[in-house]
Structure 1
């Protein structure tokens, strides 16, 4: 039988005759296939007319989507067989007698239905857009197949109970709204569909399911931007302990299992050790900061995946603060009456119905805390890259690199020359760039003014989200024509904020979105440490005039709470620098004029931060 791919690949089907093709068919409207290089494409619009590689990649996409939506092995096998029957895994297939097209042969009417909230958003979490050329997109088409299977299974269970499997495909083929009365079930078209089920789906379902359950093996390979190995990089792989016989095992589970943790360093070829799973499984791969041991004691809190109800809180307020609806939280927590929640009650916030490709950092922290003997809040400082992967079956086309099978390549932005040069002085973490799961590694030079070299970096670690890029950088645009007057140093809530040098606290007051700012005079310049955790009025007064020494904790990173009551997605230290020692009592740091809305001696902190030391 070989692999699932050998078993399910199909041959080119029969083409429609010109007489059979209606005017609204894509065979008339768009007979030629026009896709950008690299896109998965068929050789024609005929069912099954796609290369083995394209068919295999389509199967890979369907398998991964099914696993991420926590479908069972049998469910995933069913989606593969429906796609095989409908399009032969050709993303560009089109019918001649209808407007049906794409992997799932969606008609124009079905495309419109699929985009609706109560259809796709309810089941997939987003509105599926298959309009226009989208129907021929392989990934969108695969989501369409999975969505249709979900809907068709619901209908088959409703009307046929235990015999649902033999009727799922009827609802995909006829309509999600098909009413299977005896009269309708006796139609010739329905009888033809039942023949297909009896010959092309049911006999293949068991063997396909068994092939999906076969043992999985994968390793990861870290590379530089010029395709050279990235050796000696610390990593952790979080692996489910045991695979279920019914469905792929997961790490992002409703009741997370105690996983197997594989910890190591990449070898000379940039590869990790082999990781084995019992069937399809989710593996969370984490690249660690080279100096992660320096950060394991970072304290503070991270955003929770659960919420403990406080006295006086309502479900509506909790939902709004977490970007959810009351109905979502009610369903997630099995609440019969949304008005009856009690103080101390623990509510789940995330539904866990989809395995996110970038798992929440708090989940990573909870798993790493034991194996690395670290505090969970240190995870943002320790983790350079995190990604959830579905280990695909043997013979897959997706997890290959350089002729090697069962290898997932992760490519960084630094060249091998940059890595070799810098490695002499310090380890360069294999950070990755978000677009392709990679982040930049090189630090550009600076030409700006340095207020003082050798100051202490104000938080105990350097985030991979650099302070000199994107909205975090000095001078980035803000609303109403204002420019950003400082640098944002991302850090978990509760991270200690350290005095960059000896100095004296000039003022402490309320700042943005429920946080405080602390102004410190460090000799001949002033630093505003903003967005720190708030203090009471009495505590603020006690701090004013206090002398601080270099490295002394003067506050902690605060939680930003937007006017809507919802926590902002990031927490950070907002750092501003002023080049004179003119006291704010004589001239306030914040003014109402100029592009930065700040005092004229405001300077870009970036060059000074670049010259800071960590201890």
Structure 2
């Protein structure tokens, strides 16, 4: 999760390695870690002061307010954001005096995490000394940076993913297409959403838990998934016809055993009321198996995409599926 989040903030392999090493040193990747002798807690071992600062400054740095108060400091996902927030905050301080090609730059990154993000000025003007623990673990991180960076660049990961909506509803037994750029970048992990390079597309079907089939990719590389509507093959045929986008104002859905109007409406991004009105259904709790329902296509929500991607990347998805036009909805 740390790697995934760091990639989305545009961090390099070396910066991600620093964050991983810092988390290992601070908490051993244990979101329930608590110092006991101080207020430091969570993955980032944030103190009361750190938590207070995150509440007021995280929106500017992360784009949203990171609330780590009380038991939230032990939340694993928030802890991942906390270590990345700490890095980005400290990076902005250290860059005022050093550049990333200097060893002091990386030493100060950890010292500010350990001793306080606002302590650099006091160090430099001689009013504060580096802590012994701070120097020890800063050296440990620096000595291991190149090793971890090399692992990130060269390690191929075979893994599965759970595809779900924002409320954690799994996409069960759904066709999907995954897009990856399979080769490692020299400095930064590759982003499907940004790169204009040849992509590899992998088709598959999720299982009953929404899990994908196994996918191989370089650690840190972005993988973008598109969930396909059940009638995506019909859309491909229609798209190939002349002026198909003008003819296809509605889609047709055949009711199957176990279907409910609310589930069909949710899947196609329309309200139950609108679906009932278009199909002249008087009792929304009764559907006839085999009935053909008209699905309004005004929003053209034929699929769901795991994050925002460039229009060029979307077109590559569509070409793979034989579609000329498709708006993909982010879950």
Of 203, 214, 231, the residue aligned with 1:291 is 231
CA contact (8 A) 1:248 1:281 kept: yes
CA contact (8 A) 1:248 1:282 kept: yes
Q: Please say if 1:165 is aligned against 2:116.
A: no
Q: Please say if 1:110 is aligned against 2:53.
A: no
**How far has the Cα of 1:165 moved from its partner?**
1.4
Q: How does 1:63-82 map to 2 (within 5 A)?
A: 63-82=3-22
Question: 1:277 maps to which residue?
Answer: 217
User: For the structure 1 residues 258 and 211, does the alpha-carbon distance in structure 2 shift closer, same or farther, using more than 3 Å as the test?
Assistant: same
Question: 1:196 maps to which residue?
Answer: 137
**How far has the Cα of 1:381 moved from its partner?**
7.5
User: For the structure 1 residues 465 and 442, does the alpha-carbon distance in structure 2 shift closer, same or farther, using more than 3 Å as the test?
Assistant: farther
Question: 1:183 maps to which residue?
Answer: 126
Q: Over residues 282-316 of structure 1, what are the superposed CA-to-partner deviations in whole Å (9 max), with x where a residue is unaligned?
A: 112233234312123667xxxxxxxxxxxxxxxxx
In 1: Cα distance, 2:235 partner to 2:88 partner:
45
SS of the aligned residue for 2:38 comes to: coil
Question: 2:187 maps to which residue?
Answer: 246
Q: Please say if 1:217 is aligned against 2:20.
A: no
Of 260, 276, 288, the residue aligned with 1:444 is 260
Q: Over residues 505-551 of structure 1, what are the superposed CA-to-partner deviations in whole Å (9 max), with x where a residue is unaligned?
A: xxxxxxxxxxxxxxxxxxxxxx7xxxxxxxxxxxxxxxxxxxxxxxx
More relative contact order, 1 or 2 (CA 8 Å, 6+ apart): 2
CA contact (8 A) 1:249 1:281 kept: yes
Q: Over residues 71-119 of structure 1, what are the superposed CA-to-partner deviations in whole Å (9 max), with x where a residue is unaligned?
A: 2111111111111222222222223443222221211122111111xx2
In 2: Cα distance, 1:613 partner to 1:168 partner:
59
Q: Which has the larger radius of gyration?
A: 1
**How far has the Cα of 1:128 moved from its partner?**
0.3
CA contact (8 A) 1:290 1:427 kept: no
In 1: Cα distance, 2:95 partner to 2:26 partner:
22
Of 51, 66, 83, the residue aligned with 1:128 is 66
SS of the aligned residue for 2:267 comes to: coil
Greater helix share, structure number: 2
Structure-1-length-normalised TM-score: 0.39
Q: Please say if 1:84 is aligned against 2:24.
A: yes
In 1: Cα distance, 2:176 partner to 2:251 partner:
14
**How far has the Cα of 1:462 moved from its partner?**
7.5
User: For the structure 1 residues 258 and 463, does the alpha-carbon distance in structure 2 shift closer, same or farther, using more than 3 Å as the test?
Assistant: farther
Structure 2 gaps, min length 5: 164-171, 296-331
User: For the structure 1 residues 488 and 173, does the alpha-carbon distance in structure 2 shift closer, same or farther, using more than 3 Å as the test?
Assistant: farther
Structure-2-length-normalised TM-score: 0.67
SS of the aligned residue for 1:63 comes to: helix
Structure 1 gaps, min length 5: 1-60, 223-228, 300-368, 383-425, 429-440, 447-460, 475-486, 490-526, 528-574, 578-602
**How far has the Cα of 1:149 moved from its partner?**
0.7
In 2: Cα distance, 1:607 partner to 1:79 partner:
53
SS of the aligned residue for 1:216 comes to: strand
Of 134, 144, 155, the residue aligned with 2:82 is 144
Question: 2:267 maps to which residue?
Answer: 464
CA contact (8 A) 2:161 2:211 kept: yes
CA contact (8 A) 1:241 1:258 kept: no
Q: How many residues align?
A: 274
SS of the aligned residue for 1:167 comes to: helix
SS of the aligned residue for 2:98 comes to: helix
In 2: Cα distance, 1:65 partner to 1:606 partner:
42
Q: Please say if 1:263 is aligned against 2:203.
A: yes
Superposition RMSD on alpha carbons, in Å? 4.2
Q: How does 1:441-520 map to 2 (within 5 A)?
A: 442-444=258-260, 464-465=267-268, 467=270, 472-474=271-273, 487=274
In 2: Cα distance, 1:245 partner to 1:290 partner:
39
**How far has the Cα of 1:604 moved from its partner?**
4.4
Q: Over residues 338-375 of structure 1, what are the superposed CA-to-partner deviations in whole Å (9 max), with x where a residue is unaligned?
A: xxxxxxxxxxxxxxxxxxxxxxxxxxxxxxx9xxxx97
CA contact (8 A) 2:106 2:138 kept: no
CA contact (8 A) 1:237 1:283 kept: yes
Q: Over residues 185-215 of structure 1, what are the superposed CA-to-partner deviations in whole Å (9 max), with x where a residue is unaligned?
A: 5x2x4354122211x2111111111222212
